[in-house]
Amino acid sequence: MLRIRPFRRLWVVTGVAALGDWLGLLATATFASAQVSGDAAKGLAFGSVIAVRLLPALVLGPVAGVLADRFDRRYTMVICDLLRFVLFASIPIVALFSESAGLTVGWAATATFLIETITLLWIPAKEAAVPNLIPRSRLETANQLTLITTYGLTPVFAGLSIAALDRILRSGNTTPPEWAEASNLALYFNSLSRLAMALVVYFGIKEISGRIHGAKEHGQSMLRQFVEGWKYVGSTPLVRGLVFGILGAFAGGGVVIGTAQFFARSLSAGDAAFYLLFGTLFVGLGAGIGLGPAVVRDLSRRRWFGMSIVLAGGSVLLLSVAIHLAMAVFGALLVGAGAGMAFLSGVTLLGGEVGDQVRGRVFAFVQTAVRVVLMLAIAVSSSLVGLGGSWEVSTVSISSTRVLLLIAGVASILTGISAFRQMDDKPGVPVLADLWGSIRGRPLSAGEEVVGAGTFVVFEGGEGAGKSTQVNALAEALRAERREVVVTREPGGTEVGQRIRALVLGKHSELSPRAEALLYAADRADHVATVVRPALTRGAVVVSDRYVDSSLAYQGAGRTLPVDEVSWLSSWATGGLRPDLVVLLDVPPEVGLARAARRGAADRLESESVSFHERVRYAFLDLAASDPKRYLVLDATRPPEEITAAVLERVGEILPEAPPHHHEPSEAFKTIVEVDLERRPS
């Protein structure tokens, strides 16, 4: 992306602008706080200056958008930067010549209001320029790069720069003159950076010139964006979960920023610790945005979103009990990482899930809401913590800072859990196991889906166990109760499956173990999609001769392939569909193979060694032992009638009550959905 010269220059301008914004935010707030004495007054001064930054967007959003749409973009950016150059420089200059702290704080708030108003003109001009500087196919990458710069790198540089200045100026136990205070120098630097940006844009990026024609979503007022956004958010559960989750994550981050100055004091640290925590938070934010996708890889973005918010909330809780600066720095890093990953995954999901006709309004709402929530959380939390002070409980000092962090952490965790429950697209799949599988490159399959009122019964066992006999006996008994029954098998339950069956069971087929496993998975995917799931959806009883356990036993234990890989492959092929009951007909290999031999020529699997079939048998038994509630293990050497009676008794426990007027499917329908099992040895 940076090889494209116009975009590279604009990216540099944007980075400097973001650095200036964060320097201005920190410098003006700490500058105002330094003009008064007392924790309550400092907290109110710090929070009020930040709160002022919200007013222009709330009040002047429509006017700013209209003006930005009507003027040349390059001249708009240049004029805005020149005005901000003057306003930022005026804040410390007024303080030098004013003897009233109230006047100084008042002008800082007024200048901040004007700067934010001008920024409302600068932002849409810049945003409109990006698509014209780069290919459309690379717009997403460009936006991610800008996002990392704006929320990850420049806040860190801003915090570290002020912290370094403060430490240098106060080294040797000397107090610098008023004009050389760290916040004043930061404001001077911010002012000069605006002048430099104006020159770069005017002389170096002429491609920006042009006007935006037509109404644009970013030209709407914040109030209108909120109203239209809330209408859509309120009527769409997924989007509602996404939006509230993103806002919850940034609210938690805002509370951390707002309380950091007082939190640093509770750790017996100074202003340098505050800037360190501030910078660390945004290091985490940048790391979450930049590295998160590479870490979680193919994890469901819906799950990643909810888990990221819970991570951010839990990290805020960690901050509330931190007793050392190192512990606090680690907590701030995790808060930023969680918020960054939630923001990135949430925006990605919004882009994929929201319809094109409302996408612009929803994105405008999200961007505006994030800005408001972050600034409001900083302002309110800093004001409250300044008023709250601290108190003693059983000789333990408890500050309002820690209480506020505790409340924010709990609220963020609840927000994340709520979002996760609304959006989880893999119910039934363990969350942590899915995350670990994704990190390793093998995410777990989709979760169990609600597929209707049907019942899924599977018969498993070694060769010659008598599965076909019991499948047919169960089907006849259920049809006598006027139930719809679909009898099928694996492999070979579909037209595609018949071809795969010829490959995997043909005696002269030469297949590697992995190729065999893949063919069985392909058969299973087609079988579930075209036969099993549709039948369950309409409420039928599906009785299958073999399913996933056969792959785990034959390809896993028999072929000695890694069982977890075979399990993941089968689960992915079936979309996580699990049977309601697995009937395991257990038979010693010698007995079963002898039965199969009496029925004709052995197929490819029946021709394997006795030790192979021993491994298969014990694999089946191990699977049954791991989930006894879902398995019925029967001795297949018993008379068939006894086995049938035991199967009917257990199946009767899981079947819903038969409908009184349910009609038997026609013979033609049976021919379509069933497989002729009599031709296949059991």
pTM, two decimal places = 0.52
Binding residues: 461-468
**pLDDT confidence of residue 1:** 65
Question: Taking the CA of residue 289 as centre, how many other CA atoms within 13 Å lie in the half-sphere pointing to its CB?
Answer: 23
Topology of domain 237-358+368-444, CATH: Growth Hormone; Chain: A; (1.20.1250)
**Could you state, in chain order, the average pLDDT of each consecutive group of 10 residues for the chain (682 residues)?**
75 75 66 61 60 61 53 83 90 79 76 80 68 58 71 72 69 62 74 85 76 45 55 72 78 77 73 75 82 81 88 88 85 87 76 56 62 74 65 55 85 87 78 82 58 85 92 94 93 91 83 92 93 90 95 91 87 87 94 85 83 92 89 94 94 78 46 43 40
261-277 burial, b for 16+ CB within 10 Å, e for fewer? bbbbbbbebebbbbbbb
Compute the distance between CA of residue 261 and CA of residue 279 in angstroms, rounded to an integer: 12
Q: Which CATH class is domain 1-219?
A: mainly alpha
**Residue 480's pLDDT is what?**
92
The amino acid present at 278, given as its one-letter code, is F
**Dist. CA 573–CA 567, nearest whole Å:** 10
For 246-313, the three-class secondary structure string (H helix, E strand, C coil) is: HHHHHHHHHHHHHHHHHHHHHCCCCHHHHHHHHHHHHHHHHHHHHHHHHHHCCCCHHHHHHHHHHHHH
Q: In angstroms, rounded to a whole number, what is the distance separating the alpha carbons of residues 456 and 486?
A: 10
What's the pLDDT score for residue 439?
82
Domain boundaries, the chain: 1-219, 237-358+368-444, 455-679
Q: Which CATH number fits domain 455-679: 1.10.3720.10, 3.40.50.300, 3.40.50.720, 3.40.630.30?
A: 3.40.50.300
Same fold, 1-219 and 237-358+368-444: yes
Summarize the annotated binding site for ATP as residue ranges.
Answer: 461-468
User: Which pLDDT belongs to residue 79?
Assistant: 92
pLDDT at 271: 67
Give the Cα-Cα-Cα angle 404, 405, 408 (nearest 5 degrees): 85
Distance CA 120, CA 64 (A): 6
pLDDT for res 634: 94
Strand 390-393 vs strand 396-399: parallel, antiparallel, or unpaired?
antiparallel
**Pair 375, 323: CB distance under 8 Å:** no
Residues 88 and 185: beta-carbon distance below 8 Å: no
Residues in the chain: 682
